[in-house]
Amino acid sequence: MNLKQLAQITGVSISTVSKIFSGSEEISEQTKKIVLDKAKELGIFDKYNKNKYEKKLIVVICPELKSEYYTSILSIFNKVLIDKNCTMSVSVSGFSISMENELISLYSSGSRADGIIVIDGQTKGKKNANIPLVYINSDENRYSDSISVDFYSGIYEAIKHLRNCGHKKIGFIGETLTKDKERLFTKAMNQCGLQIDNSLIVVDKNRFEDAGFNAIKKLYDNNNLPTAILCGYDNIAYGVINFMETHSLTMPDDISIIGIDDIKSSSVKKISLSSIKANYEYICEIALELLLKKINNPHYKIIQTINVKSEFINRASVKDISSK
Protein backbone atom coordinates (compact mmCIF):
# COMPACT_ATOMS: atom_id res chain seq x y z
CA MET A 1 0.00 0.00 0.00
CA ASN A 2 1.23 3.48 -0.83
CA LEU A 3 0.50 6.93 0.58
CA LYS A 4 -2.13 7.68 -2.07
CA GLN A 5 -4.14 4.63 -1.02
CA LEU A 6 -3.76 5.53 2.66
CA ALA A 7 -5.05 9.04 1.86
CA GLN A 8 -8.14 7.59 0.14
CA ILE A 9 -8.89 5.28 3.07
CA THR A 10 -8.57 8.04 5.68
CA GLY A 11 -10.41 10.63 3.61
CA VAL A 12 -7.60 13.20 3.45
CA SER A 13 -5.38 14.48 0.64
CA ILE A 14 -2.11 12.81 -0.27
CA SER A 15 -0.42 16.13 0.53
CA THR A 16 -1.77 15.90 4.08
CA VAL A 17 -0.53 12.33 4.48
CA SER A 18 2.94 13.32 3.19
CA LYS A 19 3.13 16.23 5.60
CA ILE A 20 2.15 14.01 8.51
CA PHE A 21 4.90 11.49 7.79
CA SER A 22 7.39 14.33 7.22
CA GLY A 23 6.73 15.75 10.70
CA SER A 24 4.94 18.90 9.54
CA GLU A 25 3.25 20.96 12.27
CA GLU A 26 0.63 22.27 9.83
CA ILE A 27 -1.69 19.29 10.40
CA SER A 28 -3.97 19.03 13.45
CA GLU A 29 -3.21 16.41 16.10
CA GLN A 30 -6.60 14.81 15.53
CA THR A 31 -5.95 14.30 11.80
CA LYS A 32 -2.44 13.03 12.52
CA LYS A 33 -3.82 10.45 14.94
CA ILE A 34 -6.41 9.18 12.46
CA VAL A 35 -3.84 8.75 9.68
CA LEU A 36 -1.06 7.29 11.84
CA ASP A 37 -3.38 4.86 13.64
CA LYS A 38 -4.68 3.61 10.29
CA ALA A 39 -1.09 3.26 8.99
CA LYS A 40 -0.19 1.16 12.03
CA GLU A 41 -3.31 -0.95 11.59
CA LEU A 42 -2.40 -1.60 7.95
CA GLY A 43 1.24 -2.38 8.82
CA ILE A 44 2.78 0.45 6.77
CA PHE A 45 3.67 2.86 9.58
CA ASP A 46 7.34 1.82 9.79
CA LYS A 47 7.67 2.01 6.00
CA TYR A 48 6.79 5.68 5.81
CA ASN A 49 7.52 7.03 9.28
CA LYS A 50 10.37 9.54 9.04
CA ASN A 51 9.80 11.24 12.40
CA LYS A 52 11.69 8.68 14.45
CA TYR A 53 15.02 9.91 13.13
CA GLU A 54 16.09 13.53 13.42
CA LYS A 55 18.59 13.31 10.54
CA LYS A 56 17.88 12.39 6.93
CA LEU A 57 19.47 9.11 5.89
CA ILE A 58 21.10 9.24 2.46
CA VAL A 59 22.32 5.99 0.93
CA VAL A 60 25.25 6.21 -1.48
CA ILE A 61 25.65 3.26 -3.86
CA CYS A 62 29.06 2.98 -5.50
CA PRO A 63 30.79 0.20 -7.49
CA GLU A 64 33.65 -0.47 -5.07
CA LEU A 65 35.71 0.76 -2.13
CA LYS A 66 39.12 -0.35 -3.43
CA SER A 67 40.11 2.79 -5.30
CA GLU A 68 41.07 6.13 -3.84
CA TYR A 69 38.81 7.69 -6.45
CA TYR A 70 35.63 6.32 -4.87
CA THR A 71 36.77 6.69 -1.27
CA SER A 72 37.66 10.33 -1.96
CA ILE A 73 34.17 11.00 -3.34
CA LEU A 74 32.57 9.25 -0.35
CA SER A 75 34.69 11.33 2.02
CA ILE A 76 33.49 14.52 0.31
CA PHE A 77 29.89 13.33 0.44
CA ASN A 78 30.17 12.53 4.12
CA LYS A 79 31.42 16.04 4.90
CA VAL A 80 28.67 17.68 2.83
CA LEU A 81 26.00 15.48 4.45
CA ILE A 82 27.23 16.23 7.96
CA ASP A 83 27.12 19.95 7.18
CA LYS A 84 23.47 19.50 6.14
CA ASN A 85 22.60 17.47 9.27
CA CYS A 86 22.23 14.24 7.29
CA THR A 87 23.65 10.75 7.77
CA MET A 88 25.33 8.65 5.07
CA SER A 89 25.13 4.91 4.53
CA VAL A 90 27.24 3.21 1.83
CA SER A 91 26.45 0.12 -0.23
CA VAL A 92 28.66 -1.50 -2.87
CA SER A 93 27.28 -2.76 -6.19
CA GLY A 94 30.48 -4.48 -7.39
CA PHE A 95 29.95 -3.06 -10.91
CA SER A 96 26.88 -5.35 -11.16
CA ILE A 97 23.72 -4.00 -12.79
CA SER A 98 21.56 -6.58 -11.01
CA MET A 99 23.08 -5.75 -7.61
CA GLU A 100 22.64 -2.04 -8.24
CA ASN A 101 18.97 -2.62 -9.12
CA GLU A 102 18.54 -4.81 -6.06
CA LEU A 103 20.02 -2.17 -3.75
CA ILE A 104 17.87 0.60 -5.24
CA SER A 105 14.76 -1.56 -4.80
CA LEU A 106 15.73 -2.37 -1.22
CA TYR A 107 16.33 1.21 -0.14
CA SER A 108 13.41 2.70 -2.06
CA SER A 109 10.84 0.33 -0.59
CA GLY A 110 10.98 -0.99 2.94
CA SER A 111 14.02 0.76 4.39
CA ARG A 112 14.23 4.03 6.28
CA ALA A 113 16.40 5.75 3.68
CA ASP A 114 15.24 9.21 2.63
CA GLY A 115 17.20 9.42 -0.63
CA ILE A 116 19.69 7.54 -2.81
CA ILE A 117 22.79 8.73 -4.67
CA VAL A 118 24.22 6.33 -7.25
CA ILE A 119 27.84 6.86 -8.38
CA ASP A 120 28.83 5.54 -11.83
CA GLY A 121 25.49 3.78 -12.04
CA GLN A 122 24.48 1.45 -14.86
CA THR A 123 20.75 1.37 -14.18
CA LYS A 124 18.14 3.84 -15.44
CA GLY A 125 16.33 4.73 -12.24
CA LYS A 126 12.90 3.65 -11.13
CA LYS A 127 9.74 5.05 -12.70
CA ASN A 128 7.79 4.78 -9.45
CA ALA A 129 10.55 4.87 -6.85
CA ASN A 130 9.23 5.82 -3.41
CA ILE A 131 12.24 8.00 -2.58
CA PRO A 132 14.33 10.46 -4.63
CA LEU A 133 17.38 9.24 -6.59
CA VAL A 134 20.29 11.17 -8.05
CA TYR A 135 22.79 9.57 -10.44
CA ILE A 136 26.39 10.80 -10.75
CA ASN A 137 28.49 9.98 -13.84
CA SER A 138 25.77 7.84 -15.36
CA ASP A 139 23.85 7.94 -18.60
CA GLU A 140 21.02 10.45 -18.61
CA ASN A 141 17.69 8.87 -17.66
CA ARG A 142 14.12 10.12 -17.69
CA TYR A 143 13.16 9.04 -14.16
CA SER A 144 15.88 10.53 -11.95
CA ASP A 145 18.10 13.57 -11.63
CA SER A 146 21.61 13.05 -13.01
CA ILE A 147 24.89 14.92 -12.72
CA SER A 148 27.66 14.16 -15.20
CA VAL A 149 31.31 15.18 -15.31
CA ASP A 150 32.37 16.53 -18.69
CA PHE A 151 35.75 14.82 -18.79
CA TYR A 152 36.26 15.84 -22.39
CA SER A 153 36.78 19.49 -21.48
CA GLY A 154 39.73 18.57 -19.22
CA ILE A 155 41.15 15.92 -21.56
CA TYR A 156 41.04 18.33 -24.49
CA GLU A 157 42.91 20.99 -22.47
CA ALA A 158 45.51 18.39 -21.45
CA ILE A 159 46.13 17.22 -25.03
CA LYS A 160 46.23 20.81 -26.27
CA HIS A 161 48.81 21.62 -23.59
CA LEU A 162 50.95 18.65 -24.65
CA ARG A 163 50.73 19.77 -28.28
CA ASN A 164 51.75 23.31 -27.31
CA CYS A 165 54.70 21.83 -25.43
CA GLY A 166 55.88 20.15 -28.62
CA HIS A 167 54.56 16.63 -28.01
CA LYS A 168 53.31 14.70 -31.04
CA LYS A 169 54.00 11.11 -30.07
CA ILE A 170 51.33 10.82 -27.37
CA GLY A 171 50.05 7.54 -25.93
CA PHE A 172 47.12 6.42 -23.82
CA ILE A 173 47.28 3.77 -21.10
CA GLY A 174 44.11 2.39 -19.56
CA GLU A 175 42.24 -0.69 -18.45
CA THR A 176 38.90 -2.28 -19.31
CA LEU A 177 36.90 0.24 -17.25
CA THR A 178 38.44 3.30 -18.92
CA LYS A 179 37.16 2.80 -22.46
CA ASP A 180 35.21 6.06 -22.23
CA LYS A 181 38.42 7.97 -21.41
CA GLU A 182 40.20 6.31 -24.35
CA ARG A 183 37.40 7.45 -26.65
CA LEU A 184 37.71 11.03 -25.35
CA PHE A 185 41.49 10.85 -25.79
CA THR A 186 41.18 9.96 -29.48
CA LYS A 187 38.56 12.69 -29.96
CA ALA A 188 40.86 15.28 -28.36
CA MET A 189 43.84 14.13 -30.44
CA ASN A 190 41.78 14.61 -33.61
CA GLN A 191 40.50 17.97 -32.42
CA CYS A 192 44.07 19.13 -31.76
CA GLY A 193 45.24 17.98 -35.20
CA LEU A 194 47.51 15.27 -33.79
CA GLN A 195 48.05 11.89 -35.43
CA ILE A 196 46.86 8.89 -33.44
CA ASP A 197 49.28 5.97 -33.24
CA ASN A 198 47.23 2.94 -32.20
CA SER A 199 50.40 1.12 -31.14
CA LEU A 200 50.71 3.72 -28.35
CA ILE A 201 47.23 2.95 -26.99
CA VAL A 202 47.52 0.11 -24.48
CA VAL A 203 44.58 -1.27 -22.47
CA ASP A 204 45.64 -3.73 -19.79
CA LYS A 205 43.44 -6.43 -18.26
CA ASN A 206 44.62 -5.49 -14.77
CA ARG A 207 43.66 -2.40 -12.78
CA PHE A 208 45.29 0.39 -10.79
CA GLU A 209 49.10 0.51 -10.63
CA ASP A 210 49.44 -2.95 -12.19
CA ALA A 211 47.71 -1.75 -15.35
CA GLY A 212 50.13 1.16 -15.72
CA PHE A 213 53.19 -0.93 -14.94
CA ASN A 214 52.28 -3.69 -17.42
CA ALA A 215 51.29 -1.31 -20.20
CA ILE A 216 54.43 0.83 -20.12
CA LYS A 217 56.50 -2.36 -19.93
CA LYS A 218 54.91 -3.52 -23.17
CA LEU A 219 55.81 -0.23 -24.87
CA TYR A 220 59.32 -0.36 -23.39
CA ASP A 221 59.92 -3.95 -24.52
CA ASN A 222 58.80 -3.00 -28.03
CA ASN A 223 61.15 -0.01 -28.02
CA ASN A 224 58.12 2.16 -28.70
CA LEU A 225 58.00 4.79 -25.97
CA PRO A 226 55.97 7.98 -26.53
CA THR A 227 57.13 11.40 -25.34
CA ALA A 228 53.89 11.82 -23.35
CA ILE A 229 51.15 9.59 -21.94
CA LEU A 230 47.60 10.26 -20.80
CA CYS A 231 46.54 7.63 -18.26
CA GLY A 232 42.95 6.49 -17.62
CA TYR A 233 43.24 7.55 -13.99
CA ASP A 234 45.92 8.60 -11.52
CA ASN A 235 46.65 5.16 -10.05
CA ILE A 236 47.49 3.90 -13.55
CA ALA A 237 49.85 6.86 -13.91
CA TYR A 238 51.60 5.88 -10.68
CA GLY A 239 52.11 2.37 -12.08
CA VAL A 240 53.78 3.92 -15.14
CA ILE A 241 55.99 6.04 -12.89
CA ASN A 242 56.94 2.99 -10.79
CA PHE A 243 58.12 1.19 -13.92
CA MET A 244 60.06 4.23 -15.10
CA GLU A 245 61.85 4.53 -11.76
CA THR A 246 63.05 0.91 -11.98
CA HIS A 247 64.27 1.29 -15.57
CA SER A 248 66.32 4.46 -15.36
CA LEU A 249 63.61 6.59 -16.96
CA THR A 250 62.68 9.94 -15.47
CA MET A 251 59.49 11.96 -15.47
CA PRO A 252 59.13 14.36 -17.21
CA ASP A 253 62.53 14.35 -18.93
CA ASP A 254 61.98 11.03 -20.71
CA ILE A 255 58.18 10.85 -20.66
CA SER A 256 55.57 13.43 -19.61
CA ILE A 257 52.67 11.91 -17.67
CA ILE A 258 49.10 13.11 -17.09
CA GLY A 259 46.49 11.32 -14.99
CA ILE A 260 42.75 11.67 -14.51
CA ASP A 261 40.75 12.25 -11.27
CA ASP A 262 43.36 14.35 -9.40
CA ILE A 263 43.29 12.19 -6.28
CA LYS A 264 44.89 13.74 -3.21
CA SER A 265 48.27 12.09 -3.67
CA SER A 266 48.61 13.62 -7.16
CA SER A 267 50.04 16.80 -5.68
CA VAL A 268 52.20 15.34 -2.90
CA LYS A 269 54.49 12.92 -4.75
CA LYS A 270 58.17 13.58 -5.34
CA ILE A 271 57.25 15.06 -8.72
CA SER A 272 53.64 16.21 -8.61
CA LEU A 273 51.39 14.65 -11.22
CA SER A 274 49.46 16.74 -13.73
CA SER A 275 45.88 15.53 -13.74
CA ILE A 276 42.32 16.19 -14.85
CA LYS A 277 40.12 17.22 -11.97
CA ALA A 278 36.38 16.86 -11.55
CA ASN A 279 34.96 19.25 -8.97
CA TYR A 280 33.32 16.67 -6.74
CA GLU A 281 32.85 19.10 -3.86
CA TYR A 282 30.49 21.08 -6.08
CA ILE A 283 28.90 17.93 -7.53
CA CYS A 284 28.19 16.49 -4.07
CA GLU A 285 26.57 19.74 -2.97
CA ILE A 286 24.34 19.80 -6.06
CA ALA A 287 23.37 16.13 -5.61
CA LEU A 288 22.32 16.69 -2.02
CA GLU A 289 20.47 19.88 -2.93
CA LEU A 290 18.45 17.99 -5.56
CA LEU A 291 17.67 15.19 -3.10
CA LEU A 292 16.60 17.45 -0.26
CA LYS A 293 14.38 19.49 -2.56
CA LYS A 294 12.39 16.33 -3.35
CA ILE A 295 12.62 14.83 0.13
CA ASN A 296 11.12 17.99 1.62
CA ASN A 297 8.53 18.33 -1.14
CA PRO A 298 7.27 14.95 -2.45
CA HIS A 299 5.25 16.74 -5.14
CA TYR A 300 8.31 18.32 -6.76
CA LYS A 301 8.71 16.11 -9.85
CA ILE A 302 11.04 18.07 -12.13
CA ILE A 303 13.91 15.93 -13.48
CA GLN A 304 17.22 17.73 -13.99
CA THR A 305 20.32 16.78 -15.96
CA ILE A 306 23.42 18.75 -15.00
CA ASN A 307 26.83 18.68 -16.70
CA VAL A 308 29.91 19.89 -14.79
CA LYS A 309 33.14 20.63 -16.64
CA SER A 310 36.44 19.04 -15.62
CA GLU A 311 39.67 21.02 -15.30
CA PHE A 312 43.24 20.27 -16.41
CA ILE A 313 45.66 20.82 -13.51
CA ASN A 314 49.17 21.36 -14.87
CA ARG A 315 51.98 20.36 -12.53
CA ALA A 316 55.61 19.30 -12.85
CA SER A 317 55.05 16.01 -14.72
CA VAL A 318 54.87 17.63 -18.18
CA LYS A 319 57.99 18.89 -19.97
CA ASP A 320 58.10 21.48 -22.74
CA ILE A 321 60.06 19.90 -25.63
CA SER A 322 59.02 22.44 -28.26
CA SER A 323 62.59 23.77 -28.55
CA LYS A 324 63.99 20.32 -29.45
Q: For residue range 135-165, list pLDDT tens digits in order.
A: 998 876 778 999 999 999 999 999 999 999 9
264-298 pLDDT per residue, tens: 766 556 789 999 999 999 999 999 999 999 888 87
Same domain, 108 and 24: no
- Residue 36 belongs to domain spanning: 3-48
- Residues 283 and 224 placed together within one structural domain of the fold: no
* Partners of 307 in the β-ladder: 148
Decide if 143 is inside a domain: yes
Letter for the amino acid at 221? D
Structurally, the chain folds into a number of domains equal to 3
Q: Are 186 and 98 found together in one domain?
A: no
Rg of the Cα atoms in the chain = 24
Q: Is the pLDDT of residue 258 over 80?
A: yes
Same domain for 228 and 117: no
Question: Closest by alpha carbon to 274, among 258, 260, 285?
Answer: 258
| Domain co-membership, 178 together with 269 | yes
The reply to whether 259 and 182 lie within a common domain is: yes
Q: Residue 202 domain-assigned? A: yes
Find all residues with CB under 8 Å of 91, minimum gap 6, and list them: 59, 60, 61, 62, 103, 107
Report yes or no on 315 lying in a domain.
Answer: no
Q: Answer yes or no: do 272 and 157 share one domain.
A: yes
Q: What is the CATH number of the domain that holds 251?
A: 3.40.50.2300
Query: Does residue 285 share a domain with residue 183?
Result: no
Within a domain: 63:
yes
Q: Higher confidence at residue 36 or residue 155?
A: 155
pTM: 0.80
Residue 304 within any structural domain of the chain: yes
